[in-house]
Amino acid sequence: MTEAIHAREIVKKLGRHPATALGLALRRDAEDEIAAWLIASVLLGGRTKPTTAMASFRALAARGATRLDAIGNTPPGLLIGILEAAHHPGAESVVGLLQRLTRGLGKTPTATLSAIAAASDGLEDLGAKLSALASGFGAQRITRFLQPLRDSWPAAEELPLDAAACAAACHLGWIGEDDADPSALRGFLAREEEKEGATPIPLADLEAALTKLGRRACRRGRFERCPLGDRCPGVPFDAVSF
């Protein structure tokens, strides 16, 4: 493990989770912000650049369209126009998915995302209920949506860390090769925070930064591309398949 690089530095260098960057406080009782994150997470799908997705979200926010009821009540053509003006790829399909999600949620007995989570018996049940909301809302999109909600929804606590984040954290010596459970990275964070006496870093922020690091270098053994430069541990990464 290198002593030269710390979690806080990696987050500062590689960026926070998009939900944090957008100022969304995803508390258990913050239904409007959780619903706004659902919209943002859909915008982040596919090959969309995060900067484009966040610009699209802010464009929707400027028109009051980051609430699911607003998505449902706004003509599709207007929403498509907002996204196209923000240069969002596949605007028509994105709007279609958002409006299907709105309709699907409206057909549930509770009509709130948090209530669906509270009624779920673990991660598998939660994933199935979210998938049933709309066609096109599959495992990859659901995973992206749930990642920053691990600390808000007990059923989401079981969601494994992103594979690229695991590779990066393992290469840094922060977790073991088989530690895909979030508790391993939480344990590392707790130890580092105790040493530094600093404000805790949200797990979602560290996972997002490590995911970028892992995809760029660690997971493929391309250490010459490591954005940490000479502060990278530089040890060849012989990981098991995550």
* Banded model confidence at residue 20, pLDDT cuts 50, 70, 90: very high
Q: Are residues 51 and 87 in the same domain?
A: yes
Range of the domain at 86: 27-151
Q: Which stretch of 8-17, 73-82, 232-241 has the lowest confidence by average pLDDT? A: 232-241
* Banded model confidence at residue 4, pLDDT cuts 50, 70, 90: low
| Domain annotation covers residue 239 | no
Instruction: State the pLDDT at residue 194.
Output: 81
* Share above pLDDT 70 across residues of the chain, in percent, rounded to a whole number: 93
Q: Are residues 214 and 183 in the same domain?
A: yes
Closest CA to 206 of 216, 196, 192: 192
| Domain annotation covers residue 236 | no
| Domain annotation covers residue 130 | yes
- Average pLDDT of every residue of the chain: 89
| Domain annotation covers residue 237 | no
Q: How many domains does the chain have?
A: 2
Q: Are residues 56 and 133 in the same domain?
A: yes
Picking from 151, 179, 210, the residue at the C-terminal end of a domain is: 151
Which residue in the block uniquely carries the two structure tokens 């028109």? Answer: 63
Average pLDDT over residues 80-109: 95
pLDDT at 56 over 90: yes
Instruction: State the pLDDT at residue 231.
Output: 77
Say what the pTM is. Answer: 0.89
Q: Are residues 40 and 140 in the same domain?
A: yes
Q: Are residues 145 and 31 in the same domain?
A: yes
User: What does the alpha-carbon distance between residue 41 and residue 90 come to, in Å, rounded to a whole number?
Assistant: 15
Picking from 130, 151, 172, the residue at the C-terminal end of a domain is: 151
**Where is mean pLDDT largest: 105-109, 193-197, 202-206?**
202-206
Picking from 151, 171, 203, the residue at the C-terminal end of a domain is: 151
| Domain annotation covers residue 200 | yes
pLDDT at 122 over 90: yes
Q: Are residues 185 and 205 in the same domain?
A: yes
Instruction: State the pLDDT at residue 1.
Output: 40
pLDDT at 2 over 70: no
| Domain annotation covers residue 240 | no
Q: Are residues 99 and 200 in the same domain?
A: no
Q: Are residues 66 and 175 in the same domain?
A: no
